Structure 1
Amino acid sequence: MNTPYTLPVRDIMHRPGEMREHVIDVELAEPFGAGQVAVPIGGVLHVEVRLEGLHEGILVSGHADAEAVGECSRCLIDITEPVEVDFTELFAYDASEDSDLQVHDDHVDCEPVIRDAVVLALPFRPVCRPDCPGLDPVTGERLADVGERVTPEVIDPRWSALAALRIDTTDPDGARPDADKEER
C-alpha cells in the first residue's frame, strides 16, 4: 500500500554511502495525537527526509513540523502550538536483524517513525502561556481575564460546626495558663 510516507529505495539498496533526500507535505487523514492537543485531520505535516544506504539497511532521518491544536489544560481556551521533531531510524534489509522496521518491496514506510516522533513531542499538559493562572475554582472564570482580586476564604462545610466553638484560654483564677511561660 503506497502512502505519501512510502518512499522508494531501490536505487540506494545495498549501496553503502548512497543518499537521497525527499520533501513531502502530507495532509493528514487522521489526527496525530489524542487528548488535549493533536495535529488535526486536514492539518499539513511538512517532512524533510534523508535516506542513506548502509550495509544493514536504509537509515531514515529527517525533520517534521506541523501545527497542533487543542486547549489549554489550565484555562481551557483554544490554542495552537508548533510541533517540530527530528527522527532517525534504521530499516533493515533482513528480517533476522534486531530492527522492528524492514525494507519491503524496495520501499520504506516512514509513517510509524514520523507519527511516533510527532506524538511524543506533543505536550502532555499544554498551556496557553507558561504563567497561565487557570480558572477560578469558585466561579469558573478565566483568571487571566478578571485580573487581581481577593479570593474569599471558603470554609469546608465538614468543619463548619467547629466555627461556633470558642475555647476559653483563661483559667478559673482569671490568669492565662501560658502567662508564666512568658515571664521566664
Structure 2
Amino acid sequence: MRETRLTVPASEQLGEGLVAVREGSEIDLDVRIESVHEGVLVSAEVDAVAEGECGRCLIDIALPVEVEFQELFAYNSGEAFEYEVQDDHVDLESLIRDAVVLALPFQPVCRPDCPGLDPETGLRLADHPELVTPEQRDPRWAALAGFQASGDDGSDVASDTDPQRD
C-alpha cells in the first residue's frame, strides 16, 4: 500500500457550464493505492477550486470542489474491466476529470439566498435592497395567488369506523 499527496495543475479545463476548474489551476490529490488480488485499488480525495459566475446575479465566484472516489484497476485478464493496469501503471486522469466535472453545481450561486438581478434595471438586488419589494411576484404565478394552502397537516389517523382501512 502507498499513500501520497500531490498537487498537480489541471491539464485542461474541467467543466463547461457557469463554473469550471480552469486549465492550469491547482488540483490537490490525496491518493491511496493498494494491491489486491484482482488488481490495484485506488482511493482518492480531490480538492480544487472552480471559478465562474453566479447563476442568479452573474458576479464572479470561486467554489471549492471536494470529491472522493474509489476504483479498481484490474490486472490484464480475460474479463472485461473498465479500468486496467497498463505496464504496471494506473492512469487517474480520466477518473479525476469525471469526478470533478460531476461534482460541479449545475446552477452555482454566490450564496444560497442570492436574490439575483432586478428584472427592470438589471442591478444586483443584493447591492440595492431598496429595489426589493416584499410582494414582488412573477406575473406567470398570478393565477395561483387566489388559492389557499391546504389545512391538512399530513397526519393520517385511521378511525375504527373507517371501512376503507381493512
TM-score where L is the length of structure 1:
0.69
Q: Give the match for residue 151 of structure 2.
A: none
Distance 1:150 1:143 in 2: 7
Residue among 34, 41, 46 paired with 1:59: 41
> Retained in 1: the 8 A contact 2:125–2:131?
no
Q: Which residue of 1 aligns with 2:75?
A: 93
Whole-angstrom CA distance in 1 between matches of 2:115 and 2:77: 52
- Contact kept, 8 Å, 1:95 with 1:102, in 2: the verdict is no
Q: Give per-residue Cα distances to partners, 1:87-145, cap 9 Å, x unaligned.
A: 10000102533420010011000111111111111111100000000011121111111
1:57 corresponds to which letter in structure 2? G
Q: Report the 3-state secondary structure (helix = DSSP H, G, I; strand = E; otherwise coil) of the residue aligned with 2:90.
A: strand
Q: What pairs with 1:73-92 in structure 2 (closer than 5 Å)? A: 73-92=55-74
Runs (4 or more) in structure 1 with deviation over 6 Å come to none
- After superposition, residues 14-163 of structure 1 pair within 5 angstroms as 19-149=1-131
Deviations 1:2-28 (A, max 9, x none): xxxxxxxxxxxxxxxxx1112211111
Kept in 2: contact 1:57–1:90 (CA 8 A): yes
Written as runs of structure 1 = structure 2, the 5 A alignment for 1:2-17 is none
Q: Which runs of 5+ in 2 are unaligned?
A: 140-166
Q: How many residues align?
A: 137
Question: Any unmatched runs of 5+ in structure 1?
Answer: 1-18, 157-184
Counterpart code for 2:83? L
CA distance, structure 2, for counterparts of residue 24 and residue 117 of structure 1:
17
TM-score normalized with structure 2 length: 0.76
The 2-side partners of 1:80 and 1:43 are apart by 12
> Which range moved further: 42-51 or 97-106?
97-106
Percent of matched pairs sharing the same residue: 60
* Contact preservation (8 Å) 1:49, 1:63: yes
Alpha-carbon RMSD: 2.0
Work out the CA distance in 1 between the residues paired with 2:25 and 2:82.
28
